[in-house]
Structure 1
Amino acid sequence: MNKVYLPEELAGVNPIAAMPFTVDGHVDLVSFTNMINHLVNTGCNGITLFGIASEFYKLTEKEKEQLASLFVQLLANSPVYSCISVTDHATEVAIERAKFYQQLGSNCLMLLPPFFLKPTTEQIVHHICAVLDAVTIPVLVQYAPGETGLDIPPQAMAEISCRYPHAVFKIECNPPVEYCRELLRYKPDSVILNGYAGLYMMDMLDVGGKG
């Protein structure tokens, strides 16, 4: 049985798994397995699959299911926590995806809020909360306005944290420090990680980030 992680245990270094492809455009499962095993041996704390660097938008449904199952299996007996990103724009699909990844045994999820056709802040918050309602494992709510073009105010994030203790935040605005300071003013015990290739990691640790 996979270890159950608390939100505050999601800390340190958590790289996004890159996606290796063969020359004809298929997922290279052998290289993927070797890469995950290599990352485990680097001493990282967690690994995330289907982040933006995983090129999730190029994968078929069959490939995603195969990769998710293999990913969880590869990390099941390691000290590294597994995190799988839910990237679907339809709330109903995102809910089913989140449930499926939890059932597979992923230790936590990452959630990329929908941005296609520019939903309102209220619609984005509804989507996030619906996924949080559907699962019990920690969920890293991703905030990447540079990639999505969407704004989610720190106060809205803090309200989500108050409603859902298993919500964690991955802040990737550029720069992220002031946003995180404001979020922590609203909710001082919020668990915050920084993405953006770790460019601001030391600054984020100084203001209360976890990794």
Structure 2
Amino acid sequence: MPLDATARGVYPIAPTPFHPDGTIDVDSIDRLTDFYVGCGATGLTVLGVMGEAGKLDQAEGIAVATRYIRRAAGLPVIVGVSAPGFAAMAGLAHASMEAGAAGVMIAPPNSLRTDDQIATYYRQAAEAIGADVPFVIQDYPLNFSVVMTPGVIRRIVQENAACVMLKHEDWPGLEKISQLRAFQADGTMRPISILCGNGGLFLDFECERGADGAMTGYAFPDMLVDVVRLSQAGERDAAHDLFDAHLPLLRYEQQPGVGLAVRKYLMARRGLIASDAQRRPAGGLTATARAEIEYLLARLAQHDPRALPR
């Protein structure tokens, strides 16, 4: 089914698993997808920033997206299609939708500065991929250097019927969520889904501000599923207790430059992927860093048995 504004829950940002020689590990894609389905994810997002999409050629990107889509057992899959030009974006978007994707995600190029430039870019992107392709705005100023105010997000939503979701990764961004929901309440913006990124660092309060869930890539997506479920059920203290137990490890994984190395190390340690390999250029972990991760895991295991060694 096509993505729409009612989407909620957790859409993990899936990594692209590689063998140590840099080739794509399709068996790990299958194993990881099965885990996402089994732990209660309501969808998946592939070829995002942490999916090393920029290290894949277009044929590889389509192959990875198709493998996830076919293995996901009917879960909606969003495919990141950001590209320097609209021709490449449209090609990947169309191929992904033909493979069964639910929608696509578009990040702004870092050359955009004004609200008019941002709104024009998204209008042209929507025209390029086609009015029948649902799309997600990726609002990640810390990475893309493009600042989207609540007003320009409202403008994009109102000007493009196919815009159904915001991936919210501004920081600090809690007030932005509140403002966007206020726009919906006063009727100046139609409803959209809001899923949050940033590794889930602020997920506890983002849900309380009106976010519909998470779209991020922490190595314990099953924890994110539980936090969103508890929050939506009104079990505030239980949601915060679980989130607080994971926060030191989650914070460690969010380090710029080595965050993906940490995430893949943890996923390999959990048996979700066969190798923590990244495709070059890539950062790595020192022995000291690995020891710090193990220390944090041991502390986490006192509160959450999912952190125990396999």
Q: In which range does the TM-score fall when normalised by the shorter chain? A: 0.7 to 0.9
Which sections of structure 1, spanning at least 5 residues, go unmatched? none
Residue 190 (structure 1) shift: 3.3
Q: Match of 1:11?
A: 8
Indicate how the Cα distance of structure 1 residues 126 and 99 shifts in structure 2: closer, same or farther if over 3 A, else same.
farther
Tell me: higher relative CO, structure 1 or 2? Use CA pairs within 8 A at least 6 residues apart.
2
Q: How does 1:50-65 map to 2 (within 5 A)?
A: 50-65=47-62
Q: Match of 1:44?
A: 41
Contact 1:142 1:172 in 2 (8 A): yes
Q: Match of 1:164?
A: 160
Which sections of structure 2, spanning at least 5 residues, go unmatched? 186-190, 214-310
CA distance in 1, matches of 2:149, 2:183: 11
Q: Match of 2:175?
A: 178
Q: How does 1:60-99 map to 2 (within 5 A)?
A: 60-75=57-72, 77-78=73-74, 80-99=75-94
Residue aligned with 1:7, SS: coil
Q: Match of 1:125?
A: 119
**TM-score for both structures, normalised by structure 2:** 0.61
CA distance in 2, matches of 1:111, 1:127: 10
Which contiguous aligned blocks of 4+ residues in structure 1 show a shift greater than 6 angstroms?
none
CA distance in 1, matches of 2:131, 2:20: 37
Q: Does 1:153 align with 2:149?
A: yes
CA distance in 2, matches of 1:99, 1:187: 30
Contact 1:48 1:85 in 2 (8 A): yes
Residue aligned with 1:23, SS: coil
Contact 2:78 2:102 in 1 (8 A): yes
Percent identity of paired positions between Structure 1 and Structure 2: 23
Q: How does 1:106-145 map to 2 (within 5 A)?
A: 106-115=101-110, 118-121=111-114, 122-133=116-127, 134-145=130-141
Residue aligned with 1:175, SS: coil
The structure having more radius of gyration, on CA atoms, is: 2
Q: How many residues end up aligned between the 2 structures? A: 204
Letter in 2 for 1:111: I
Residue 108 (structure 1) shift: 1.6
Letter in 1 for 2:152: A
Letter in 1 for 2:176: Y
